Chains A and B, each alone.
Chain A
């Protein structure tokens, strides 16, 4: 649910990073947080948890500058990936305007990726949202492991598993090194802002 403040001329959008546990959603946010200019970013909020899992969510507010006189503010959220935290994931999805689905390239995580995408579709439906209509981008993370001895999934396999029906834009990434992180963010922010703007601010031609 975007918030459009006509008196301050601000548009607030919510982008959620979704994906199975340990796929690198928080790593994406941390990389963005560490590389952005302090004028453009707010405080990153991470709810304290034991270990390095996200228990509730992480939040990073960003200021993307002006479009047609409106300040564009984006809030990036992550969800807890582990299957048992389903209720929490659903809460964070409330009011989502754009989605990044982060998939894990490790072969052992193949089933988890598929399961998480199904879970996303199901949770969106509970808010009467259809994954096909929302701005979404896929990120195949941990591509840097391809050259290591750890078995990884090929891009074709990942496309076949996750993107066959969706046909969304997909980026390769190695979030710990920052590869693909900003490409993903740029693409989804543009798409989300356009989606919100065409709904409310710009009359379609």
Chain B
């Protein structure tokens, strides 16, 4: 796992992409994290009550744990995860081999839309950071 170096322009481009696709679709918060649990970028509502560091660490661990589960049942990986809450839900998608995109959204946004936008977005972000599968 190589170190990740973020440059201003790449980050700016990523934020614009996230804002244009997911934030405009009405999701609350979008986090781009790496598999070590570092926050790469955050977009959307600036929720002071949201502990992003902990969320990123748990999400990375959660992703790691489920991919181990995947291996146990003979899959390589689960490329997306979804947790449904009463009001808010959370969707995780893999971006390349190095990053995870976390989307937090309320019940006014449909899961289908989130999945569609996330699928487009992940391939765009992969291009920006030069991540391949």
| Residues of A participating in the B interface, judged by any CB pair closer than 8 Å | 1-7, 12, 14, 42-43, 45, 47, 56-57, 59, 61, 75, 77, 87-88, 91-92, 94-96, 127, 196, 199-200
Tell me if B53 and A3 are in contact (CB < 8 A). Answer: no
Residue of B nearest to A91 (CB): B64
Known contacts A45-B58, A75-B53, A127-B1; can you find 6 more A-B pairs with CB under 8 A? A3-B3, A3-B36, A45-B54, A61-B53, A87-B68, A95-B34
Task: Please name all residues of chain B whose beta carbon is closer than 8 Å to the beta carbon of A56 when the two chains form the complex.
Answer: 61
| Residues of B participating in the A interface, judged by any CB pair closer than 8 Å | 1-8, 11-12, 34-38, 40, 51, 53-54, 57-58, 60-61, 64-65, 68
With A4-B6, A94-B1 as given contacts, are A45 and B34 in contact (CB-CB < 8 Å)? no
Tell me if B11 and A5 are in contact (CB < 8 A). Answer: yes
Cα distance A140–B11 in the bound complex, in angstroms: 43
Tell me the interface secondary structure of chain A in the complex: mixed
Most buried by A among B7, B8, B36: B36
With A94-B36, A95-B36 as given contacts, are A1 and B4 in contact (CB-CB < 8 Å)? yes
Task: Please name all residues of chain A whose beta carbon is closer than 8 Å to the beta carbon of B6 when the two chains form the complex.
Answer: 3-7
Q: How many A-B contacts if CB must be within 8 Å?
A: 86
Task: Please name all residues of chain B whose beta carbon is closer than 8 Å to the beta carbon of A2 when the two chains form the complex.
Answer: 3-4
Tell me if A3 and B54 are in contact (CB < 8 A). Answer: no
Tell me if A1 and B2 are in contact (CB < 8 A). Answer: yes
B30 to chain A, nearest CB (A): 17
Residue of B nearest to A2 (CB): B3
Tell me if B54 and A43 are in contact (CB < 8 A). Answer: yes
Tell me if B53 and A200 are in contact (CB < 8 A). Answer: no
Task: Please name all residues of chain B whose beta carbon is closer than 8 Å to the beta carbon of A59 when the two chains form the complex.
Answer: 37, 53-54, 57
B92 to chain A, nearest CB (A): 15
A18 to chain B, nearest CB (A): 15
Cα distance A127–B35 in the bound complex, in angstroms: 13
Tell me if A75 and B57 are in contact (CB < 8 A). Answer: yes
